[in-house]
Amino acid sequence: MVIPTSFFISVLLLFAINPITEAGTHRKVVVSKLSHLDEEANALILSGWWSNQHNISNRCSWPGIHCNNAGSITEITSPPRKNYDSSLAKQGRSTGIDFSVFLNLVHLDLSEMGLYGFPKGLSSLNKLKFLNLSHNKLKDEPGSPSSLANLTQLLVLDISYNFIGGQIPNEFSMLERLVTLDLSSNLFSGTIPLIFSHMSNLIYMNLSSNQLTGDLTATTYANLTKLENLDLSQNGFSGLIPQEIGNLTNLLTLDLSLNNLVGPIPHQIGYLNRLTSLHLNSNSINGSIPSSLGLLTQLEVLTIKNNEVGGSIPSELENLVHLKVLDLSYNEILGVIPKWISNLTQLDDIRLSGNQICGYIPSTILVHISHVDLSTNKLIGSIPFQIGNLSYLDVSYNNLAGPIPEQIGYSNRLTFLHLDSNCFTGSIPSSIGLLTEMIMLTMGHNKINGSIPIEIDHLLHLGALDLSTNRLSGVIPSGLFVHLTFVDLSTNNLSGSIPSLIGKSVNHLDLSYNNLSGNIPEGIDSVQFYNLECNPFLNGDYHNCQSENLNNGHDKSLSTLGLVLIIVASILVSFGSIGIGICVLFARHRSRRLKSKAAKHGDLFSIWEYDGKIAFEDIVEATEDFDIRYCIGTGAYGSVYKAELPSGKTIALKKLHKTESENPSFYKSFCKEVEVLTEIRHRNIIRLYGYCLHNRCMFLVYEYLERGSLFCNLANEIEAQELNWSKRVNIIKGTSYALAYMHHHCTPPIVHRDITTSNILLNSELDACVSDFGTARLLDTDSSNLTILVGTYGYVAPELAYTINVTTKCDVYSFGVVALETMMGHHPGEFISRLSKPSTQNLMVKDVLDSRIPLPILEKDLQDVVLVMTLALACLSSDPKSRPSMEDVANDFLASNSPIHFSFSDVSIYQLMNQEIYVIGKN
Ligand SMILES: *[C@@H]1O[C@H](CO)[C@@H](O)[C@H](O)[C@H]1NC(C)=O
Ligand SMILES: *[C@@H]1O[C@H](CO)[C@@H](O)[C@H](O)[C@H]1NC(C)=O
Ligand SMILES: *[C@@H]1O[C@H](CO)[C@@H](O)[C@H](O)[C@H]1NC(C)=O
Ligand SMILES: *[C@@H]1O[C@H](CO)[C@@H](O)[C@H](O)[C@H]1NC(C)=O
Ligand SMILES: *[C@@H]1O[C@H](CO)[C@@H](O)[C@H](O)[C@H]1NC(C)=O
Ligand SMILES: *[C@@H]1O[C@H](CO)[C@@H](O)[C@H](O)[C@H]1NC(C)=O
Ligand SMILES: *[C@@H]1O[C@H](CO)[C@@H](O)[C@H](O)[C@H]1NC(C)=O
């Protein structure tokens, strides 16, 4: 679209008249020879930015404009954005103004103006000292940004948050006076050019969030001795951290995180004695923490998270008396938590999770520090009772014991408390009721006894409560369900009736394996996931459990698993050589009991009790010897049949044909699936009822899920209509809960490795169930997790193209694909491959959603859809380290309830990729 030239001319005339007539000159002269002041005035009008100003003579006092004494404009800062939508920028052009008319311009700030192209005429502004074009949509058009090289007076150049790609132009070497250079959040690629060595006046340099690669060679910045802030994070830099970094002795902040740097931290970093913050997160740095870091006495923030750093925490760090944040999590740190940590009086945030730290928690560490994460280590002893003003405490997955100190309740800012998977004993102190800010409370898998204190009712913000697998008894406090969304009280010894759930927001409720009695409250149907199994006195069909010692669930499940594994192992040995058949069918629950039965049919070896009796012959009968009519699908490792048993129960059978079952890799996957599914039990993971090894065939027996795969449901026009936004969001949430459980609550963690929409099955309520564990892998922390590539094209994480190291982050990627596919209605392959391109990022979310169903309108749906899309995009990050963990994802779903503060139709993919609406993984 072009605005007619006549329009411009008339505008020019209109505004040229005023000053000229004042000066008494004839009108004809005006048009042919405007004074440069008039040209400036015209340019301002043309921009459309000041359309609410009517007196052009008064322009030097318009907002954002400064003039010199002669009335020529020297400064333009953030013109009013009022008219921004109708401006030329919207039409995909830069502003119409030719900036070369502003001969005296010194300061130009056009940040956040929605510019699509570099402003015209910039390169003539030879007095310009300050240029801010950040937060626009600039691209690397030919000639720009190298045209900026003419601005040799420039002191400040900020072109961050644009879509500028290509090499950093060599012409920048002309900008020798530059003090501040911000190129961050663009698409610059290639290596850092040598030119920076000429910019010896630089104080601030930010190249973060680009696609820069190559080594950080010393020559690049050896001359930058005035540098105070250096940010090279979120690129693809590789190689060692050069020792010469120690020459930049004026540095105050240094950020090298999220790159591919290797090798040790050079001890020369200790020369940077003015440093206040040092970030080395998410690289592959190894070696130990150099004691020279103790020389950085001004340091306030030190983060080395997600590396391979070993050794112990050096005692020299005791000198870092200004330290506020220390994050060494997910490394290989050994030794104990030093006692002197408590002497760092400024320290407010310490994260040591995911290391090999042993010994006791120092007795005064919880006094001053408010955010403490010591989870997944080898700590022993108990929680110190000297507790100050904690806001976050995670000591889960350690070997801690003893009681939960009553003092914890006096820490009234506490919002997250995680004590899971330790050996805590005693009862839950009633002081817990004082923690009125609490959002998430988890104490599962301990040996906690007594009753749940009624004071827990006071926790009005509590969203998630997991007290599962303890020895709790008594009744469930009646006010418990008021605000919770996630409740897991399974495997305790709770009694009494279930308080009414009506009007409550519970969406995940597990009270299984207790001694609850009475009626099921009416509101239960509004609960998305609930499990009440094995409460023998509850009215309804919840008697289904073996009469075992329920107080022992944790140990029990482990030993049962051991038993099953022995059986699987023995099958491995005997299979093929002896022609006997083995059928193993187990009850639907964690507590299984081996019943050695005299086999009814000669070919049954043993049977796990399952809803009465079931035998190989029953299955043959039910499927008319695996007639094709009963076949409901064919997967990678066999065909799936639907069978109705004599008892009326419908099951699904995954059968491997004999030829397949003799193939060692199929056979391995069969055993893998049994091994994995035997161990896990989760509402969103398919239940394995049993398996059968028989000389005629081998098969797995599953629960039958009526609605088949998510893939088929999305592909079918009618079923896709039925999958409205809230159902789709629930499917994604359910999948995330299943994966979070496998990754973070199973020891060792389980990686599925083949998450696709075909492997997510739906039950009649359209809840998701993750299935097909034939390729799953137990992440053995003691050996490397190298393996051949498996998975499905289009869902496999990109790093598996060049590494064979399987991590949970591979599943996170596949989950991202599945989530997008569910929202878009089709496989997002093309969309993903174009994600780094600005054209894709400029897309609006509403335009990528499945168009077969109406756009979301309910507030809850809007919130959820935007959250799902944000999380999915984060999961698709090509750097596995910057993907959120599945636990982050699940927690974000559980915690999401913030009111809408965006206009849905204006939300772009770009905003979601930058998490401008939801910031994920808050903790
Ligand atoms: C426009 O601004 C000039 C300079 O400040 C002033 O002298 C003049 O009176 C203003 N005109 C109107 C119409 O307000
Ligand atoms: C440029 O503008 C952005 C947005 O207004 C601002 O955040 C940033 O600090 C500015 N850059 C400089 C160097 O002043
Ligand atoms: C830089 O300025 C010179 C003279 O001032 C001019 O000839 C040249 O075209 C300018 N370069 C660019 C890229 O605008
Ligand atoms: C560098 O830029 C990124 C955004 O691209 C910003 O998050 C970061 O804080 C900046 N670093 C410094 C040291 O200012
Ligand atoms: C450092 O700067 C000086 C003077 O600007 C220059 O002569 C020298 O070549 C630069 N060093 C490097 C390594 O580029
Ligand atoms: C950097 O520091 C080392 C000492 O660590 C010194 O030998 C070297 O000359 C310095 N390099 C520059 C370019 O100043
Ligand atoms: C902590 O500081 C006090 C007083 O400065 C000192 O006596 C004590 O030894 C320090 N504790 C440790 C463990 O270093």
Distance (Å, rounded) from C-alpha 789 to C-alpha 795? 12
Q: Predicted confidence band at 307 (pLDDT cuts at 50, 70, 90)?
A: very high
Beta-carbon contacts of 577 under 8 Å, excluding residues fewer than 6 positions away, are none
Closest CA to 653 of 712, 703, 581: 703
Distance (Å, rounded) from C-alpha 702 to C-alpha 665? 21
pLDDT at 615 over 70: no
Distance (Å, rounded) from C-alpha 334 to C-alpha 357? 5
Distance (Å, rounded) from C-alpha 672 to C-alpha 680? 13
Q: Predicted confidence band at 541 (pLDDT cuts at 50, 70, 90)?
A: confident
What pLDDT score does 692 carry? 66
Atom of ligand 1 nearest to the CA of 61: 5
Among protein residues, the one whose CA lies closest to atom 14 of ligand 5:
197
702 vs 222 pLDDT, higher one: 702
- Mean pLDDT on 271-286: 95
pLDDT tens-digit readout, 857-916: 888 899 899 999 999 999 999 888 889 999 999 888 887 766 677 788 888 898 898 887
98 vs 196 pLDDT, higher one: 98
Q: Are residues 751 and 895 in the same domain?
A: yes
**Which contiguous run of DSSP H or E holds residue 911?**
helix 909-913
Domain that holds residue 438: 358-541
Atom of ligand 4 nearest to the CA of 253: 13
**Of the given ranges (190-194, 233-237, 255-259, 779-783), which has the lowest mean pLDDT?**
779-783
pLDDT at 542 over 60: yes
Tell me the one-letter amino acid at 179: V
Using a pLDDT cut of 90, give the percent of the chain over it: 37
| Cis previous bond, 798, omega within 30 | no
pLDDT tens-digit readout, 783-796: 344 444 456 677 77
Residue 838 inside a domain? The answer is yes
The full length of the chain comes to: 923
What pLDDT score does 666 carry? 59
Closest CA to 704 of 650, 624, 762, 637: 650
Answer whether 209 contacts ligand 4 (Cβ < 6 A): yes
Distance (Å, rounded) from C-alpha 376 to C-alpha 587? 32
Answer whether 208 contacts ligand 4 (Cβ < 6 A): yes
Answer whether 7 contacts ligand 7 (Cβ < 6 A): no
Among protein residues, the one whose CA lies closest to atom 5 of ligand 7:
343
Residue 168 inside a domain? The answer is no
Q: Are residues 647 and 732 in the same domain?
A: no
pLDDT tens-digit readout, 157-167: 999 988 888 88
Q: pTM (2 decimals)?
A: 0.63
**Which positions are catalytic?**
754
Residue 182 inside a domain? The answer is no
Q: Are residues 517 and 376 in the same domain?
A: yes
What pLDDT score does 27 carry? 37
Instruction: Please report, for residues 208, 283, 632, the alpha-carbon distance to residue 236 in angstroms, rounded to integers and kept in the order given.
Output: 10, 10, 46
pLDDT at 559 over 50: no
Residue 89 inside a domain? The answer is no
Task: State the alpha helices, DSSP H only, in 289-359.
Answer: none
409-418, 613-622, 646-655, 657-666, range with greatest mean pLDDT:
409-418
What pLDDT score does 733 carry? 94
pLDDT at 327 over 70: yes
Q: Predicted confidence band at 779 (pLDDT cuts at 50, 70, 90)?
A: low
pLDDT at 317 over 70: yes
Residue 530 inside a domain? The answer is yes
Answer whether 339 contacts ligand 7 (Cβ < 6 A): yes
Residue 770 inside a domain? The answer is yes
Q: Cα angle at 52 between 50 and 58, to 5 degrees?
A: 70
Among protein residues, the one whose CA lies closest to atom 2 of ligand 3:
150
**Helices and strands per DSSP (H, E), number in the chain:** 19, 48
* End residue of a domain, out of 670, 703, 736: 703
pLDDT at 808 over 70: yes
Q: Are residues 739 and 875 in the same domain?
A: yes
What pLDDT score does 79 carry? 80
Q: Are residues 777 and 871 in the same domain?
A: yes
DSSP 179-207: SEEE--SSEEEEPPPGGGGG-TT-SEEE-
Tell me the one-letter amino acid at 657: H
Distance (Å, rounded) from C-alpha 327 to C-alpha 485? 30
Distance (Å, rounded) from C-alpha 768 to C-alpha 710? 8
Which sign, positive or negative, has the C-alpha torsion 757, 758, 759, 760?
positive
Distance (Å, rounded) from C-alpha 91 to C-alpha 97? 14
| Ligand 5 center from residue 190 Cα (angstroms) | 22
Q: Are residues 688 and 729 in the same domain?
A: no
**Of the given ranges (66-75, 94-103, 754-763), which has the lowest mean pLDDT?**
94-103
Asked if 772 and 635 touch (Cβ cutoff 8 Å), the reply is yes
Tell me the one-letter amino acid at 717: E
- Mean pLDDT on 767-781: 70
Among protein residues, the one whose CA lies closest to atom 6 of ligand 6:
247
Half-sphere exposure of 338 (CA within 13 A, CB side): 13
| Cis previous bond, 362, omega within 30 | no
Q: Give the number of the ligand closest to the Cα of residue 99.
A: 3
Q: Is 649 annotated as contributing to ligand binding?
A: no
pLDDT tens-digit readout, 370-400: 999 999 999 999 999 999 889 999 999 999 9
Atom of ligand 1 nearest to the CA of 55: 1
Asked if 502 and 519 touch (Cβ cutoff 8 Å), the reply is no
* End residue of a domain, out of 499, 518, 541: 541
Distance (Å, rounded) from C-alpha 402 to C-alpha 314? 29
pLDDT at 562 over 50: no
Q: Predicted confidence band at 699 (pLDDT cuts at 50, 70, 90)?
A: confident
Q: Are residues 649 and 534 in the same domain?
A: no
* End residue of a domain, out of 493, 516, 541: 541
Query: Which CATH number fits the domain that encloses residue 434?
Result: 3.80.10.10
Task: State the alpha helices, DSSP H only, in 789-855.
Answer: 808-824, 829-833, 838-841, 845-848
Query: Which CATH number fits the domain that encloses residue 641?
Result: 3.30.200.20
Q: Give the number of the ligand closest to the Cα of residue 318.
A: 7
Q: Are residues 382 and 486 in the same domain?
A: yes
Q: Give the number of the ligand closest to the Cα of residue 266.
A: 6
DSSP state of 277: E
Average pLDDT over all residues of the chain: 79
Distance (Å, rounded) from C-alpha 488 to C-alpha 498? 13
